[in-house]
């Protein structure tokens, strides 16, 4: 780059960011000060990693028009560094573009770069490759963990420094770690190290803060000197008591609720969470009437595309939708809650004039006929780019250098099993779901914490295939070091199964490259409770020349049970209508095209509806996130209640 061009670039960058300002905590007057003036933020959470880049502007504008003067976002480490030293900040991962867009719209930014974020995101944003050291103590002073954190922050923090408010950017505060008081380690040296690390990269003038539950037990390990302590709590509780907990850690300074819950998260097999608009509006009014700063978590939830969803303990994975019953729906639609909260905010600050961007139109593309392609076992040559790995005992995903998706484990029956014989995981080592077949016939499903044994029959030497699905790593609590695959030995009767061949599956690459072929016609299989995990394909055309097409839509899979779906090679995420509550998956218009047929690929893991005739998927205009479910699961990570404030 020439000196002249470099100079012009610097000038343009400085101009786009704006004039430097000041942002600080005023301990004497219990407030923030922005450019010397008393300041209170009313913010909303938006996760850029859950929204296609083409929709960032629409969602941010709707937040601005609701009366918010700031947004809050996480930075998921694993989203940007999926393998060590290989960073991605382009396309949907263009963090700098997102920050600039927020500023251009008129929104300040509260940044939460972790390294741990929780956020119902795989492993709380920590990259799975950290588990290459099996006994690593995450979120602690463990030297290997600290070394990786230092490298990551050495890449990330200098990138965001120009976007700090005092440098002319939108970022007014930066959070260090996340709800550390809820973690077992309680390692003050770790928090001190992070504080020094952030200060070394970002300077001493920046307001750094922590967030913890509104209870003294949470704040004990979560707050530390030089980081301003804030709390989080949802609607319906005692607001005064919650802020009294913050006052225990911060006797003076602004009152801050960093996560005021507008809704709540979902789990497969549990009812869709709904928090009443009246309850949220009433509590928000109470918070604002006290002069407090607040961030509405979430203002828009978005989507866990691909494999990015997290899980809670005891193991309960979250679905693809992260709708959260937020003021803006998963698809960015305006809701009753949006307008109700806007009316509350209007009581405390001037609302921008002008029209609110409308809900994006949806289009029902109708029914798409699907035909069977190959089974997973038949497609191994094109799915397993790296080839087979042989071992006496099964290896985990991490040992196989695979973070997400599926691995096929193959062995043989060592003895004749003429009568049903239990194939078991006695140590509950199936992480997380395993689809078992013997000689090409489905035998059953093993599932973490739920089903640890299935009966099999077959002759000695019969091939046993076990397709193991990683359903999302635990993102909260002490069990975030969540290894995937067969993490302990399987037994046949009383004997340990030995002699494994394992195939890492690069399914996303195979789908996007169109490598899956059709299966040659064979005699119809005998009716069975389960079918082999297999791929199905179909396509539909969106006519060219019709104004405003393509548009957003939702895909529904009637009579399909569980699997993964791709459109034009884009991994929409998991479907599991047989367990619910989510039935439809959001399909953003940007992945569709009018220039060529739109290809739909489904990996059905349990039982496709094709054996009884033609099978199909359907595109509709209406989301279904609240299907009736029957479950023995208890709610995980409950909302804070009055007892937490004592």
CA-to-CA distance for 560 and 610, rounded, in angstroms?
Answer: 9
Catalytic annotation on 259? yes
Residue 343 bears catalytic tag: no
Residue 74 structure tokens: 């996480």
Torsion from C-alpha of 107, 112, 118, 121, nearest 10 degrees = 60
Backbone phi, psi, residue 178, to 5°: -165, 120
User: At 102, which helix (H) or strand (E)?
Assistant: helix 95-105
Structure tokens, 308: 């990015």
Local structure of residue 113 (DSSP, 8 states):
-
Q: Which of 468, 375, 458, 381 is nearest to 412 (CA)?
A: 458
Residue 330 token pair: 């998963």
Q: How many separate helices (H) and strands (E) can be counted in the chain?
A: 12, 33
Residue 231: CA count within 13 A, CB half-sphere? 30
Look-up: residue for tokens 């791709």?
Answer: 566
Coil, strand, or helix at residue 370? strand
Tell which residue, 248, 71, 261, has the closest CA to residue 173. Answer: 71
Which pair of tokens denotes residue 43? 């913010």
Marked catalytic residue, from 179, 469, 604, 606: 179
Q: What are the DSSP calls for 306-345, one per residue?
A: TT-B-EETTTEE--SB--TT-SB-TT--B-HHHHHHHHHH
Rounded-to-integer distance, Cα 68 and Cα 60, Å:
10
Residue of 81, 177, 250, 259 marked catalytic: 259
Dihedral over Cα of 451, 457, 460, 462: its sign: negative
Which residues are CB-contacts of 78 (< 8 A; sequence separation ≥ 6)?
Answer: 121, 122, 123, 125, 126, 127, 128, 403
Residue with tokens 């319906």: 236
Nearest to 473 by CA among 464, 481, 465: 481
Active site members:
179, 259
């Amino acid at each position: 780059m020439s000196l002249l061009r470099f100079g012009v670039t610097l000038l343009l960058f400085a101009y786009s960011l704006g004039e430097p300002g000041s942002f600080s905590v005023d301990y004497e007057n219990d407030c923030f000060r922005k450019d010397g003036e008393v300041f209170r933020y009313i913010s909303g959470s938006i996760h850029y990693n859950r929204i296609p880049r083409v929709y960032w502007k629409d969602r941010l504008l709707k937040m601005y028009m609701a009366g918010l003067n700031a947004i809050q976002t996480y930075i998921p480490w694993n989203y940007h560094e999926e393998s060590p030293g290989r960073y991605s900040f382009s396309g949907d991962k263009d963090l700098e573009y997102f920050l600039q867009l927020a500023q251009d719209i008129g929104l300040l930014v509260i940044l939460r770069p972790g390294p741990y974020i929780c956020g119902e995101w795989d492993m709380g944003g920590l990259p799975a490759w950290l588990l290459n050291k099996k006994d690593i103590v995450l979120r602690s002073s463990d030297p290997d963990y600290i070394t990786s954190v230092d490298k990551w922050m050495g890449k990330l923090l200098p990138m965001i420094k120009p976007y700090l408010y005092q440098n002319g950017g939108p970022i007014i505060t930066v959070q260090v770690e996340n709800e550390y008081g809820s973690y077992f380690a309680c390692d003050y040296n770790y928090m001190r190290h992070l504080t020094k690390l952030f200060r070394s990269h970002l300077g001493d003038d920046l307001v750094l803060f922590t967030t913890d539950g509104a209870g003294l037990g949470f704040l004990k390990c979560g707050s530390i000197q030089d980081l301003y302590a804030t709390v989080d709590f949802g609607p319906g509780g005692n607001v005064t008591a919650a802020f009294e907990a913050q006052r225990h850690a911060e006797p003076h300074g602004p009152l801050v609720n960093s996560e005021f819950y507008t809704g709540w998260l979902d789990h497969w097999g549990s009812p869709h969470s709904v928090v009443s608009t009246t309850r949220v509006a009433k509590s928000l009014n109470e918070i604002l009437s006290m002069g407090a700063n607040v961030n509405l978590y979430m203002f828009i939830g978005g989507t866990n595309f691909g494999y990015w969803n997290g899980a809670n303990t005891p193991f309960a994975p979250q679905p693809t939708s992260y709708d959260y019953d937020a003021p803006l729906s998963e698809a960015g639609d305006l809701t009753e809650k949006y307008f109700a909260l806007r009316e509350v905010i209007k009581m405390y600050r001037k609302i921008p004039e002008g029209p609110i961007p409308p809900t994006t139109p949806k289009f029902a593309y109708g029914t798409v006929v699907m035909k069977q392609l190959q089974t997973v076992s038949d497609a191994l040559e094109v799915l397993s780019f790296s080839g087979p790995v042989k071992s006496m005992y099964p290896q985990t995903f991490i040992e196989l250098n695979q973070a997400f998706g599926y691995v096929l484990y193959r062995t043989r029956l060592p003895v004749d099993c003429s009568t049903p014989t239990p194939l078991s995981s006695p140590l509950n080592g199936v992480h997380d779901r395993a689809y078992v077949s013997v000689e090409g016939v489905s035998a059953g499903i093993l599932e973490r914490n739920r089903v640890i044994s299935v009966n099999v029959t077959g002759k000695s030497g019969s091939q046993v295939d076990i397709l193991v699905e990683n359903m999302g790593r635990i993102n909260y609590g002490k069990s975030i070091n969540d290894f995937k695959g067969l993490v302990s030995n399987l037994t046949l009767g009383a004997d340990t199964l030995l002699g494994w061949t394992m195939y890492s599956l690069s399914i996303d690459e195979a789908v996007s490259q169109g490598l899956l072929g059709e299966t040659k016609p064979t005699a119809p299989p005998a009716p069975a409770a389960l079918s082999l995990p297999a791929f199905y394909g179909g396509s539909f055309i969106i006519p060219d020349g019709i104004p405003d097409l393509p548009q957003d839509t939702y895909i529904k899979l009637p009579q399909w049970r569980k699997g993964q779906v791709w459109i034009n090679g884009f991994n929409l995420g998991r479907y599991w209508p047989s367990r619910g509550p989510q039935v439809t998956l959001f399909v953003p218009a940007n992945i569709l095209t009018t220039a060529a047929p739109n290809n739909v690929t489904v990996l059905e893991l349990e039982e496709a509806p094709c054996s009884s005739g033609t099978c199909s998927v359907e595109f509709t205009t209406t989301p279904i996130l609240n299907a009736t479910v029957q479950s023995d699961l208890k709610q995980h990570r409950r909302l804070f209640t009055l007892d937490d404030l004592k």
